[in-house]
Structure 1
């Protein structure tokens, strides 16, 4: 399982996240996405711990917690859906105007 951590401070670093989540178990991986054009952090991260039970405990205890001045949203990450994102929202079947 992977944990989604939302509403992160833009000042949060990968090391900051590692310190917080290491309290719950061995950290396997952290992804802290940045905007391609600006290089600025996007305000969310994905964290993977070695043990799924540790991940659930981290979710239970950190969801809604205030960290670095922000109320975190912490939950199980949902798999990325095929074809999601990058679209302009126009239905490709509708005629062009």
Structure 2
């Protein structure tokens, strides 16, 4: 089960995120999303558990609780929205 974790401290590391979720079950991965240009945290990340039960336990145990000095938002991750190609490319000139 993959979880979305929001309102993370910008100083939190992947290892610290994993450590916060480890008491709830077998963490397969913990990744904080970083900005490409600055390599700074975007303030959210994802934690993946081996089982749905462990993920649900983590939601119940950590949603609204303090992790790294901030009250985090924890819920089940939704699949990413399909990307649209709005802008960024060259316009056709007629």
TM-score > 0.5, shorter chain as reference: yes
Tell me how far apart the structure 2 counterparts of residues 87 and 63 of structure 1 sit (CA, whole Å): 34
**Structure 2 residues without counterparts, runs of 5 or longer:** 88-94
Q: Which structure carries more strand by proportion?
A: 2
Q: Are 2:73 and 1:73 equivalent residues in the alignment?
A: yes
Alignment of 1:58-69 (within 5 A): 58-69=58-69
**Structure 1 residues without counterparts, runs of 5 or longer:** 89-97
Partner of 1:53: 53
How many residues end up aligned between the 2 structures? 87
Displacement over 3 Å in runs of 4+: none
Instruction: Give the TM-score taking structure 2 as reference length.
Output: 0.85
Instruction: Give the TM-score taking structure 1 as reference length.
Output: 0.82
CA RMSD of aligned residues (A): 1.5
